[in-house]
Amino acid sequence: MIGPMDPSLHLRLATVADIEAMREVEVDAGRRFREFPPELGLAEIADDEPPAVEVLMANIDNESSW
């Protein structure tokens, strides 16, 4: 169960300056799928490319990225 959010964390809308970090987070998250049993077939997710810069820019422009 998720507890209360750490009060030292601050949520904000993403900016263009965040794009490279957002892509790195996506790659790291994908790698974690290699930890699942191989028979689940999730390892291929680890090889997915992160979202394109244009996709992230569109999300930033419409204020849907935090």
Digit-coded pLDDT (tens) for 38-50: 899 888 888 899 9
Per-residue model confidence (pLDDT) at position 9: 82
Per-residue model confidence (pLDDT) at position 16: 97
Amino acid, single-letter form, for residue 15: T
How far apart CA 25 and CA 20 sit, in angstroms, is: 9
Cα angle: 5, vertex 66, 41; to 5 degrees: 90
Cβ atoms within 10 Å of 24's Cβ, excluding its own: 11
Per-residue model confidence (pLDDT) at position 3: 62
Per-residue model confidence (pLDDT) at position 7: 80
Per-residue model confidence (pLDDT) at position 1: 44
Start-to-end C-alpha separation, the chain: 22
Which of left, alpha, beta for 63 (phi over 0: left; psi -120 to 50: alpha)? left
Residues of the chain predicted below pLDDT 70:
1-3
